[in-house]
Structure 1
Amino acid sequence: MLTICRKASGTVTALLALSAPAFAHPHVFAEARLDVVVNGDQVEALRHLWRFDDLFSSTVLIEFDRNKNLELDQGELQEVAGVVHESLAEFNYFQIVTANGKDVAMQAPAELIADFTDNQLIILFESLPKEPIPLEGTVAFGVYDPTFYTAIDFTEDEYMAVENLPPGCSRQVIRPDPEEAIAQNQETLTEAFFNDPAGNDLSKIFATTLEITCDANG
C-alpha cells in the first residue's frame, strides 16, 4: 500500500493509510519502468520510475502545495520524496528480487526523487543489492504492493529493460493470466488470507515480472 504520511501542525496528513486493512482491489495506480543495470556477470542496480494516476497526483498536489500556487516547487517535491521514502521502507519499496527462486535482499535507496509533470506525480529511485547478484540460472525482478492497494503496471514489455545484457543470457517479461493465477493458488486464497491486517501476497500472484536467464555454459 503506497502510503504518504506526514505530521504537520499537530495533525497527520495521510494520503493513503498504512494501518488500513487489505482491500480487494487497488485504489491507486501507477505506470512504471524498471531498468536492471548489469555490470559484467552481476546485477549492479535497479532503476525505478513510477508515474501515478491523475486522482492520486492531484491529492498529493493539494496536500503538499504549502504556498497554494497550484504547483509543487522544489522544496515541496523534496518533502513528498522524503515522506514516500520513509513510508515504503517496510515494504522494500515494492520491489522483489529472486535468484533461482530464493529471495535476494536489496539496500534501501539513498534517496527518492519526486517530480510533477503534466499533472502527474513521478517518483524515481535507484536501489542496489546488499550482496552481489551473479547472473546464474534465473534471476527475477518484480514490483508490487503486498497490500494490493497500489497497482504498479508495466504497460509495455520494453518498460522492463536490461542494460548490458551479457551473451548467453536472455530476457523475458512474464505476465500471469489472472484466472490461471487464481486457480493455481485457490487453496491459499481463504478469508483469513484476505483479512490479514499485515497484507498478503495477492498482488505478487498477479505481478508482472522480468526474468533474466543465463546459460552456465554461455
Structure 2
Amino acid sequence: MKKILHRLFITMSLLVMLSAEPALAHPHSFISMKTQIIAGQGQITALQMRWIMDEITSADLLYDAGEAKPDSPVWKRLAAEVMANVLTQHYFTEFWHNGEKVKFAARPSAYSLSREGHQAVLEFTLPLARPQPLAGQRYLFSTFDPSYFVDMSYENDNEVLLPDELKGACKVAVKTPKPDAAVQAFALSLDKADAPPEEMALGKQFAQQVTLQCQ
C-alpha cells in the first residue's frame, strides 16, 4: 500500500482508487500528455508539459477546488501540492543526448492546475539546467511512472509540438514500445496492493519515447 505513486499522487485522489473495487490490472490511473518544445537562439531550453488526468484521478482535486475561480488561492495551493510531489521524482521525465542524461532545473519556471469539465489539468514549464544545441543533434525523452501504477502517454505524434521556427529543421516522433509477452503478463497480474520490484523499472518498459531530430 506504500507504493511510490501512492505517495506522489496522494493529492491526485489515488486514495479514492485504493478504496474502490479492485481493478483488473496495472495501470490504475491515466494521464494524457501534451508537450511543447521550447527553444530560442538555436537551442532547446525547456519542455512545456500539459497533463490531463482521468476523471477518477481528478475527483479529489476537483472536490477540494469546489467552485473556486481559476485565479483563486485554492487552485494555487492545490497546484503547489501536486507540483511538489512531481518534483520528488524529477518530473517523471528522462531526457537523453548522446547516451547521457540531460539535467533539469530544480524548479519549474511556471505551473498551474485547472479544471476542464470533470478532469484536472496540470501545466508546467520544465527548464533544462542548461540550454542544449539543436543543429545536427538528436534528443530522446520519456515521461513515465516507474511503478506503472499511472499510465502516462501521448495519443499520437501531434501531441508533441515544435515551435514554428524549428518546423523546417527538426522533426519529432513518438515511439510506443511493445514489451514482450512475459512483461505484459506480469503487469496484468498486479493489483492495487502489488508493487513491481523497483529494479524491474516496469513503467519504463511501457514508456513512450519521443525523438527530437534536427538537421
Common fold by TM > 0.5: yes
Distance 2:200 2:89 in 1: 12
Distance 1:211 1:181 in 2: 27
* Pick aligned residue for 1:92 from 74, 90, 109: 90
Q: TM-score, normalised by structure 2?
A: 0.75
Do the aligned partners of 2:13 and 2:56 also contact (CA within 8 Å) in 1? Answer: no
1:31-180 equivalences in 2 (<5 Å): 31-62=32-63, 64-65=64-65, 70-73=66-69, 74-107=72-105, 108-135=107-134, 136-163=136-163, 164-165=165-166, 167-179=168-180
Question: By how many angstroms is 1:180 displaced?
Answer: 7.6
Do the aligned partners of 2:138 and 2:212 also contact (CA within 8 Å) in 1? Answer: yes
SS of match in other structure, 2:129: coil
Distance 1:132 1:44 in 2: 5
Distance 1:89 1:71 in 2: 27
Distance 2:99 2:76 in 1: 36
Do the aligned partners of 1:114 and 1:122 also contact (CA within 8 Å) in 2? Answer: yes
Distance 1:160 1:147 in 2: 24
Do the aligned partners of 1:32 and 1:51 also contact (CA within 8 Å) in 2? Answer: yes
Residues 100 and 116 (structure 1), Cα distance of their counterparts in 2 relative to 1, 3 Å cut: same
Structure 1 unpaired stretches of 5+: 6-12, 184-192
Q: Does residue 195 of structure 1 match 2:191?
A: no
Residues 160 and 166 (structure 1), Cα distance of their counterparts in 2 relative to 1, 3 Å cut: closer
Question: By how many angstroms is 1:94 displaced?
Answer: 1.5
Question: By how many angstroms is 1:167 displaced?
Answer: 4.8
Aligned Cα RMSD in Å? 2.9
Structure 2 unpaired stretches of 5+: 19-24, 185-194
Query: Which one-letter code corresponds to 1:33 in the other structure?
Result: K
Which deviations, in whole Å up to 9, do the C-alpha atoms of 1:119-173 show, x marking residues without a partner?
1101100011101212243201221112322211211210012223265533222
Distance 2:57 2:204 in 1: 22
SS of match in other structure, 1:58: helix
- Per residue, is there more helix in 1 or in 2? 2
Residue 191 of structure 2 corresponds to none
Query: Which one-letter code corresponds to 2:205 in the other structure?
Result: I
SS of match in other structure, 2:80: helix
Q: State the identity as a percent.
A: 23
Residues 89 and 113 (structure 1), Cα distance of their counterparts in 2 relative to 1, 3 Å cut: same
Residues 132-141 or 98-107, more deviating: 132-141
SS of match in other structure, 2:120: strand
User: Number of matched residues?
Assistant: 188
Query: Which one-letter code corresponds to 1:130 in the other structure?
Result: A
SS of match in other structure, 1:25: coil
